Amino acid sequence: MYGMINQALKELVESHSGARVWGEICESAGVSSEDFDSLLPYEDSLTYRLVGLTSEKLGLSASEILRMFGLHWVSFTAHQGYGEMMALFGRDLRTCLKNLNRMHGHMGAMMPDLHPPRFVVEEKNSESLTLHYYSTRHGLAPLVVGIIEGLAQKFREPITVRHIPKGECSDHDEFNVVFVSA
C-alpha cells in the first residue's frame, strides 16, 4: 500500500490518542514514527501490522479501527489535495460510487504500483444499491463501510450500509447501501 495510507492512519491515531501513542505503535512495529512518503509503496504487511497494533493499543477491534479509518480517509484525502479530484467524479454519493474505478485509474498515473480494488454498482431502485467490492487484500470490508459512510457525510446524504460478507464460493464482498429519506 502507498505511504499515504499509513500517513492517514498516523493522523487518525494522533487525533484520537496523541503523538506519543502513535510513536509507541510504530516502535512496536519496528518503524520510524516519522511521516511515510505518500507516493512510495510499502509492504501491505506493514499496514496490517500498524492496524493490528493500533487495535491493541486503543482497545478496539481491528474492524472498528478500519471503519474509523475509512471515515477518516475521506476527509484526509480531501485535505491532501485530492478533494478537487474527488469532486470531478461525482456530485452525489451514487455517482461517486459509480466512478470509484475511474478515480483509482487516475491515481494509478501518479502511483504506478497501485493495486486498487474494483467496484461494481448494482442499482436496486431509487432508494438503494449494492456495491460489489473485489480486492486481492483480505479483511478490509470494514474500511469500505467507513469510506461509504464518509462519502455519504461529504455529500450530506443519510444512508445505512450493511456488509454482506463474501461466502466460500464468492470472489467479492457486497455492501447494501440504503438512502434514508429526510
Taking only the tens place, the pLDDT of each residue in 125-136 is 989 999 999 988
Looking at residues 31-51, what average pLDDT do you find? 88
Stretch 165-182: mean pLDDT: 84
Angle at 162 between CA 156 and CA 163, to 5 degrees: 125
pLDDT band at 115 (very low <50, low <70, confident <90, very high): confident
Give the pLDDT confidence score for residue 109 in this predicted structure.
Answer: 66
94-100: list long-range contacts, CB under 8 Å, 24+ apart.
94/121, 94/129, 94/179, 96/151, 96/155, 97/121, 97/129, 97/131, 97/148, 97/151, 97/177
Top-confidence residue, 82 or 77: 77
Element (H, E) at 119: strand 118-125
Residue 62 confidence (pLDDT) above 90? yes
Q: Across all residues in the chain, what is the average pLDDT?
A: 88
